[in-house]
Every structure is written in C-alpha cells, then in structure tokens.
Amino acid sequence: MTPEPFGARLRHAMDTRGPLCVGIDPHASLLGSWGLNDDVAGLERFTRTVVEALADRVAVLKPQSAFFERFGSRGVAVLEKAVEEARAAGALVLMDAKRGDIGSTMGAYAATYLDKDSPLFSDAVTVSPYLGFGSLRPALDAAEVSGAGVFVLALTSNPEGAEVQRATSADGRSLAQLMLDHMAAENAGATPLGSVGAVVGATLGDTGADLSINGPLLAPGIGAQGATPADLPRVFGAAVRNVVPSVSRGVLRHGPDVSGLREAAGRFADEVRTAVPES
C-alpha cells in the first residue's frame, strides 16, 4: 500500500490542530531552569514532560538531535523513545538534524531518519542542500517511498547564512532562490501540499525570494529569537498559509509544569490563527 504523503498528512494536522511546531531543545540552561541536572536522567525527564504535554495537541514536534547526541548512546535512546511516543500520540515528528552529505553517506542519513524500519524514523527531517541540491536525492527518494517529508535549508535566520544563501549563482538567482526553485520542481502537481519544505527564518523581514514552492515553510525564530506570529504575513506574503511557525524556548521556558507548557503553546497557536488567514 502506498503511504499517504507527508504533505497531505501535514496539511491535515495543520488544519485540525493548528500550524504550530514546538521544538524539543534540551539546552543545559533549560534543564537547569526546570530544576533538572544536565545528565541523561534530566534529559529523559525533560523530554517525556514535553511529549506528555504537547504531543496530543500540536501539529508538529521538532526534537533537535544534537542535544540528545551529546549524551551518546543513552541520549539517542531517549530520542528514539520520544519519537515513538510523540507519533503514537498523534504529533508529526520533524527531526531537526540538518544533515547534508553526498552519495552513500547521504543515503545512510536517509536510512536513519526516513526508513520505516529505523528506530529514529521520523515524519520529516531537516537537511542542508549546500553541497548541491542533487546531493539530497537519496533523502528525497527515501522520503517518497516512506511517505515522509524533507525540509531543506533555504534562508536561515543566522546572520552568517547570508554569505552563502544570498550569493549569486551563475544565472543571476541567489543560491537560496535556486534551492527554492528546486523544491518547487519536486512539489509540482502535489495536492494539497508537497512534501518537500523549506526552512525560512521568521526573523528575516522581506526575504526578497519567491516562496511559492507548493510545500510547507518551516519558520523558526518565533518567541525567544524575536519574531511574533503577527510578523508572518509580512515575511511570507501569499505563501503564509503554508507556514509552520516554530517556537522552542518561548514554550519550553514555561515548564516543568505540564499545564504551563500547554497554556504557552495554546497562546502561540491562538496568535498564529489570528495572524494567518484560514484560506
């Protein structure tokens, strides 16, 4: 049986749960603010609390793999369990791994996150295209087979990104626009939404780019980084309905109480609904 594409599943989740994505970013400072030790036990308590609080109500949970990997195999085991439990509760899991390589190595990354038999199989994964968009082919192909998604870095919010992403390609387009055009080609004809998304920072203001890729636009930077849901229409223009606003510390700092996390996520979701038209 052909799996339902990620783009269709994401559109349904956004329409029923709201478009909010909440990151699971267990910084040492956040663990400390929750009264937890910066160790595997603290990591596990933090992660389980976030999943318990939010996995049954937000559209997407986005664990940042680096904060689990820093604890070695025991941290990765916590991540595997979080992915399993979050998906079982109905959230789509976007693994924020930002992988990028070539050939068989990219294929191994794809197998790690996009093969249904992998313990880290996720609904989608973030990848970097700056070894050339074609280097992503193993991930794109694996995602299509499993009904998963791929979010490709396009215009990131860090100031250093501009020296690469806004550089001019041989045909005069910025490199970011070249990547966005590749994404649009991958999503051509997909309904209701393609499964290849772009990562575009919500803090960028006028991006100067054509964001009509017929796919989702992950928008980090809401909350602690300074962007608000009210900024989304200005940044994303006509593509705003396909935006998945991502907030991490703005929600996570309200833990460890489950009710505090839920109330904070609910406030952000309501602000997004107010700012973004439904159609």
Report the 3 state secondary structure along the chain.
CCCCCHHHHHHHHHHHHCCCEEEECCCHHHHHHCCCCCCHHHHHHHHHHHHHHHCCCCCEEEEECHHHHCCCHHHHHHHHHHHHHHHHCCCEEEEEEEECCCHHHHHHHHHHHHCCCCCCCCCEEEECCCCCHHHHHHHHHHHHHHCCEEEEEEECCCHHHHHHHCCECCCCCEHHHHHHHHHHHHHCCCCCCCCEEEEECCCCCCCCCCCCCCCCEEEEEECCCCECHHHHHHHHHHHHHHEEEEECHHHHCCCCCHHHHHHHHHHHHHHHHHHCCCC
Q: For residue 65, how many other CB atoms are within 10 A of its CB?
A: 22
Residues linked to residue 136 through DSSP beta bridges, in sequence order: none
Enzyme catalytic residues: 98
CA distance 62 to 94: 5
Whether the CB-CB separation of 196 and 187 falls below 8 Å is answered with yes
Q: How far is CA 23 from the centre of its chain?
A: 8
Q: Which residues fall within 8 angstroms of residue 86, CB to CB, at 6 or more apart?
A: 51, 55, 61, 93
